[in-house]
Amino acid sequence: MIKSIKVRLNPNNKQSTKLFQYAGCARFAYNWAISREQDNYKQGNKFLSDSELRKEFTQLKKQSEYQWLNEVSNNVTKQAIKDACNTYKRFFKGQCKYPEFKSKKHSTPSFYQDNIKIQFTDTHVKVESFSMSKKQNKQKLNWIKLCEKGRIPTGCKYMNPRFTYDGLYWYVSIGIEVNDNTTLPSNEGIGIDLGIKHLAICSDGNTYKNINKTQTVKKLEKKKRRLQRSISRKYEKNKKGANYCKTSNIIKREKELLKLNHRLTNVRQNYLHQTTSEIVKREPSFICIEDLNVSGMMKNKHLSKAVQQQGFYEFRRQIEYKAMWNNIPVVIADRFFPSSKLCSCCGSIKKDLKLSDRIYKCECGNVIDRDYQAALNLKQYGENVLKQQSVA
């Protein structure tokens, strides 16, 4: 089993400049490969493999106008060309959209490092560097400080090391191989109903609140709205004709807004991690969640913002990979399974149930919270699916 680890970096000014240089060279190589594939297609030729493109790129770097490409590691540009070819292959299989050029303004700066030459200690990471002269040798990256001590294990094999920039900070992400968990959990299974009033309602009685209704997030959202209005007013004030002028004060405000958005994202992401980890640590025999039509829910203008802030897809993704680490089967209920309308006692379906009806009342006398009953029904659904699989 492969686990991925992502740690924030703390580079100095020279190292930060060099990291952006690496990302710029990777973007140039990626765009060059996309352009060569397009030109080759217009001429009626077959798809160029990444090995052919890398040989061409090696000859390109020997030209005087492209000598700046030699200031970074050879593996950075080679992997960028390979990524471009892999994108085309995925497009041919119908797995992604047509490959587009990476924009210097809008794309995420990132680059690859050789998994053999990269080195880690408890506090630093060494990035592979290449220089053509002693003068350039002074600009090597060498050891970059990590923000978390002992997070990445040393002395093991690393897979697919990548450096990325999210607009504020640089991060390094790697994959490491760990032993599979063979223990089978024997506790009672859990059904989880996701909602807007509460993030998750479990069949064992545990309920997890909506973090977006807390004072912490509400204050941050209020500050965010004020900052956005302030930036908008400054743009209108400094408008010259039909063009907008970006002043130094606007740049400062936009950086404050970026940090605030980063803070909000981290608060929500941290809460999701805490919730999913707590559920998995109870070691249930299985976990059953519903397959929500999130794109359809987003079309409701009254609920779209609340649905987006809850992060249902991210919740499901975390549950799936954390359950896999702990050898817990995850059952995904059918999208049209009536978990809320189905009575957990008699099994009858209440077709006229409205979204505003928070208490489920059945003719058999069953009076129960709507979301908790959905969780119970999902638990029963998971038990039935696993029984069918064991019989088959």
pLDDT digits (tens, 9 = 90+) for 94-136: 999 999 999 998 999 999 999 888 999 999 999 876 545 444 4
Question: Quick one: pLDDT at residue 363?
Answer: 74
Within 8 A by CB and 6+ apart from 188, the residues are: 204, 284, 285
- The b/e string for 48-57 (b: 16+ C-beta within 10 A; e otherwise) is bebeebbeeb
Q: Which of 21, 52, 29, 13 is nearest to 131 (CA)?
A: 21
* Measured distance CA(29)–CA(37) in Å, rounded: 12
Instruction: Tell me, rounded to whole angstroms, the distance of Cα 165 from its chain centroid.
Output: 13
Does residue 195 contact residue 372 with C-beta atoms inside 8 Å?
no
- Residue 291's alpha-carbon distances to 108, 190, 257, in angstroms, are 30, 15, 34
The pTM assigned to this predicted structure is: 0.85
Question: What is the rounded (10 degree) CA torsion for 117, 120, 125, 130?
Answer: -20
Using 50, 70 and 90 to split pLDDT, how confident is the model at 358? confident
Q: Specify the DSSP class assigned to residue 256.
A: H
* Measured distance CA(309)–CA(85) in Å, rounded: 35
Q: Which of 151, 71, 82, 76 is nearest to 118 (CA)?
A: 76
Residues 287-313, mean pLDDT to the nearest whole number: 90
Question: Quick one: pLDDT at residue 140?
Answer: 65
Q: Which of 268, 233, 282, 285 is nearest to 390 (CA)?
A: 285
* Measured distance CA(375)–CA(289) in Å, rounded: 8
Helix (H) or strand (E) run with residue 360 in it: strand 359-361
The token duo for 378 is 């999902």
Does residue 328 contact residue 283 with C-beta atoms inside 8 Å?
yes
Using 50, 70 and 90 to split pLDDT, how confident is the model at 139? low
Residues 360-372, mean pLDDT to the nearest whole number: 81
Residue 52 reports pLDDT greater than 60: yes
The token duo for 345 is 């006692």
pLDDT more than 70, % of the chain: 97
Residues 279-286, mean pLDDT to the nearest whole number: 93
Question: Quick one: pLDDT at residue 134?
Answer: 46
Using N-to-C axis directions, what is the helix angle for 74-92 and 50-60, rounded to 10°? 140
Mean of per-residue pLDDT scores for the chain: 90
Q: Specify the DSSP class assigned to residue 244.
A: -
Question: Quick one: pLDDT at residue 348?
Answer: 78
Taking the CA atoms of 230, 236, 237 and 243 in sequence, report the sign of the dihedral they define: positive
Q: Which of 374, 371, 289 is nearest to 323 (CA)?
A: 289
- φ, ψ dihedrals at 342, nearest 5°: -85, 130
Q: Which of 349, 328, 327 is nearest to 337 (CA)?
A: 349
Helix (H) or strand (E) run with residue 288 in it: strand 287-290
Residue 276 reports pLDDT greater than 50: yes
pLDDT more than 90, % of the chain: 64
Residue written as tokens 């923000």?
147
Residues 337-366, mean pLDDT to the nearest whole number: 80
The token duo for 207 is 């309920």
Rg over alpha carbons for the chain, rounded to the nearest Å, is: 26
* Measured distance CA(24)–CA(228) in Å, rounded: 30
Using 50, 70 and 90 to split pLDDT, how confident is the model at 73? confident
Burial-class residue 373 by CB neighbours within 10 Å (0-12, 13-18, 19+): buried
* Measured distance CA(32)–CA(233) in Å, rounded: 40
The DSSP string of 168-211 is: S-EEEEEEEE-PPP-PPP-BPPEEEEE-SSEEEEETTS-EEE-G
Angle value at C-alpha 224, between 220 and 228, nearest 5 degrees: 175
Output the furthest CA–CA distance in the chain (Å, rounded). 85
Q: Where are the domains of the chain?
A: 2-177, 190-391
